[in-house]
Amino acid sequence: MDVAGSNPVFRSILDGPVGVAARRAPSARPGFAGCPRPGGRGGARRPAPRALATEVPLPANGGLAPRGDRAAVERAIADLVRALGLDPAIEPELAETPARVADLYAEIFSGLEPGTSPEVATFPHAGEELVLVRDLPFYSLCVHHFVPFFGRATVAYLPAGRIIGISGAARLLDHYARRPQLQERLTGQIADHLERLVEPRGLAVIVEARHLCMEMRGVRKRGAVETRTIRGALAAPPWSEAIARHPRP
């Protein structure tokens, strides 16, 4: 039986028009809360909540939320301008650049603010059919080079009693994209958070992005980088076979 291949929704995801340069093999994680187990689902106790595998500690200053940190960013950018041999007295366009960049960072790094967490509503749900949100656009900044990487994400899961609100996947994506980030970590963090929220039977997070640190420096090649985190029932046949057959999200 080819459940995934015959599912028009999933097929439409997998037949999307996106190019792929690199792809991670789907991987199952032992102990996934939603995995089918011998003896049937629902019989075993759920495992105790655990720390997010992909969580990274916030900076000691908690990011840019405190006003003092914003001022420090502004001073640092002014220093950077001077270090590059630029002079606002000669180039007046630079005069407001430190303040503008500090404002920019406060906005695009809002995911670093201490205590913030995406507001994602969850609801009881009896159905078990695939839920999928595809082609969510995002912008982030490469943690290695501080230049943008951007693309789109697809989030899919098989509910096991709860679903997230319809905007939830986009909120998770934005929260974890708005910080200096690795695409691989972004993918895993969305998956971890979704798993904690609804403990699905299986999930897949597929992120495809262009990286300006690859395009405007170094090898100077344009290419799409794809990362996938696939767990539980979606990492096992027939779903895994359907995903593997289709090189595009």
Q: Give whichever of 145 and 185 is closer to Zn ion, judged by the CB atom.
A: 145
Show the binding pattern over residues 135-154: x = contacts Zn ion (CB under 5 A), - = does not.
-------x-xx---------
Listed in sequence order, the residues at least 6 apart from 96 whose beta carbon sits closer than 8 Å to its beta carbon are: none
Of residues 187, 178, 180, 108, the one with CA closest to residue 143 = 180
In whole angstroms, how close is the CB of 82 to Zn ion at the nearest point? 25
Distance CA 187, CA 178 (A): 13
Q: Give whichever of 123 and 146 is closer to Zn ion, judged by the CB atom.
A: 146
**In 22-130, which residue ranges form alpha helices assigned H by DSSP?**
67-83, 97-108
Distance CA 126, CA 133 (A): 19
In whole angstroms, how close is the CB of 109 to Zn ion at the nearest point? 16
Q: Give whichever of 41 and 217 is closer to Zn ion, judged by the CB atom.
A: 217
Q: Give whichever of 149 and 239 is closer to Zn ion, judged by the CB atom.
A: 149
- Our finding on whether 72 is near Zn ion (CB under 5 A) is no
Site residues (CB under 5 A) for Zn ion, limited to 1-20: none
- Our finding on whether 245 is near Zn ion (CB under 5 A) is no
Question: Exactly one of 213, 224, 236, 244 binds Zn ion (CB under 5 A); which one?
Answer: 213
In whole angstroms, how close is the CB of 142 to Zn ion at the nearest point? 3
Query: Segment near Zn ion (CB under 5 A), from 38-46, 62-70, 212-220, 224-232?
Result: 212-220
Contact 230, 26 (CB under 8 A): yes
- Our finding on whether 182 is near Zn ion (CB under 5 A) is no
- For CA atoms 216, 212, 56, 191, give the dihedral sign: negative
- Our finding on whether 58 is near Zn ion (CB under 5 A) is no
Distance CA 127, CA 167 (A): 19
Distance CA 205, CA 202 (A): 10
- Cis status, amide bond into 66, omega within 30 of 0: no
In whole angstroms, how close is the CB of 144 to Zn ion at the nearest point? 4
In whole angstroms, how close is the CB of 97 to Zn ion at the nearest point? 22
In whole angstroms, how close is the CB of 103 to Zn ion at the nearest point? 23
Cα 78–Cα 211–Cα 156 angle in degrees, nearest 5: 120
- Our finding on whether 196 is near Zn ion (CB under 5 A) is no
Q: Which residues bind Zn ion (CB under 5 A)?
A: 142, 144-145, 213
